[in-house]
Amino acid sequence: MRRQHYIDLIHRSFRTHPVVALLGPRQVGKSTLAREIQKSERSETHFFDLEDPVDLARLDAPKLALEGLRGLVIIDEIQRRSELFPVLRVLADRKKCRFLVLGSASPHLIRQSSESLAGRLASIEVRPFSILEDVSFKRLWLRGGFPRSFLAKSEGDSHLWLRNYISTFLERDIAQLGFRFPAPTVRKFWMMLTHYHGNLFNSSEIGGSLGLSGPTARRYLDVLSQTFMIRELQPWHANIGKRQIKTPKIYFRDTGLLHLLLGLSKLSEIETHPKLGASWEGFVLEQITSHFGLPPEEVFFWGTHAEAEIDLLCTLSGGRRVGFEIKYTDAPQITRSMVIALKDLKLNAIHVIYPGKTNFKLSDKISAIGFERLKDLA
């Protein structure tokens, strides 16, 4: 499945930056994108896969290995050698080649990248499949967007792949990032987060259930967030005379992983499960942020202790402040909470996303948007 929107974005980024980083979870398709860029490149190219012992050894003396190269240099799994970034800064300034680097962790975990390559690095988050790929939304919701899970021949094959993915992530990937957390405890923590999906994160409560301190539970969450497994949706604080929520909400970024850990393998099982609404909310949230290309630091939720809230708050093109309410219903309606949010936050619009095919007005500034028409929004 060709992901042209990412290919175009990579080419645009190279117009202004000598180094482009593709960041995202493992097995999300970063290497496939890099190979496509390599095939279309007119100049010479060089590919280093740092999971290959030979390529890893070649970069034991990175400056010696890289300084004579021309054209495009691709370095996969760069989080295994974060000390490469200062070398890339020197070589990028010589303007003899460009670098496409791939990493399975956020810039905060790929140490030195932001400091060493300030002004030289463009970061692109590569996400699992989304509505940008024009795929079946029910299958996408059930299986999640990891290519091998989504494209599996059966639900059983999809679940087997996801189960192995979790095991590899816990037993190998976390350790490769330098963390020495016990895999069984992190697994229990991750499974416990399924019950908090779509809810406020309480480190003391979760930590106490596992015999961990609140700060340790917080560190576990940080690792899952920085490796693109969990989204921490931060609260928005408005200058109003009301007590507002200041604790982040958490969501599984891939509903395939959420459903696996909940033991759900069919849509019919999801539709009768207590986490139905939360699963739909997290799924749609990820699709909205993918559609508009919104980074994590630019999306929020808003809520007050008097129970007025908005599921997602962001600023779109033209400086429009827009709220999204996400409802699993076939008959969306205006709620008191929406009216309060529209007034207190001075929103330009509220869109209520529901699992339908039709868009229609609920009021002057509130519209119902069928999920299958979400791509119509600009």
Please tell me the distance from the alpha carbon of residue 63 to that of residue 90, in angstroms, as a whole number: 9
Q: Give the integer Cα–Cα distance in Å for 44 and 96.
A: 12
The reported pLDDT for the residue numbered 329 is 96
Q: What is the pLDDT of residue 175?
A: 85
Give the contacts of 209 (CB within 8 A, at least 6 positions apart): 192
Read off the tokens for 256: 């395939």
pLDDT given at position 109: 59
Cα 167 to Cα 142, 161, 170, 187, 192, distances in angstroms: 20, 10, 5, 9, 16
Give the pLDDT score at 173. Answer: 87
* Tens digit of each residue's pLDDT, the chain (378 residues): 779 999 999 999 999 999 999 999 999 999 999 999 999 888 899 999 999 999 999 999 999 999 999 999 999 998 888 788 889 989 999 888 999 999 988 766 565 565 678 788 899 999 999 998 888 999 999 999 999 999 999 999 999 999 999 999 999 888 887 788 889 999 999 999 999 999 999 999 999 989 999 999 999 999 999 999 999 999 999 888 889 999 999 999 999 999 999 999 999 999 999 999 999 999 999 999 999 999 999 999 999 988 789 999 999 989 999 999 999 999 999 999 999 999 999 999 999 999 999 999 999 999 999 999 999 998
CB atoms within 10 A of CB 167: 12
Closest CA to 165 of 178, 153, 152: 152
Sheet containing strand 71-76, edge to edge, reads 45-49, 71-76, 97-103, 19-23, 121-125
The pLDDT value given to residue 37:
95
pLDDT value at position 111? 56
Radius of gyration of the chain from its Cα atoms, rounded to whole angstroms: 22
Distance between CA atoms of residues 187 and 79, nearest Å: 22
Closest to 364 in 3D by CA, of 377, 378, 344, 347: 347
- Sorted by where each begins, the domain ranges of the chain are 4-125, 131-376
CA 124 to chain centre: 11
> Do the beta carbons of residue 192 and residue 210 sit within 8 Å?
yes
Q: What is the pLDDT of residue 116?
A: 72
Pair 150, 28: CB distance under 8 Å:
no
Indicate the CATH number for domain 4-125: 3.40.50.300
Which pLDDT score is estimated for 378?
82
Residues 71 and 78 sit within 8 Å (Cβ to Cβ): no
* pTM for this entry: 0.93
Paired sense of beta strands 320-326 and 309-316, if any: antiparallel
DSSP string, 297-333: GGEEEEEBTTS-EEEEEEEEGGGEEEEEEE---SS--
The DSSP code sequence of 185-228 is HHHHHHHHHTTTBTEE--HHHHHHHHT--HHHHHHHHHHHHHTT
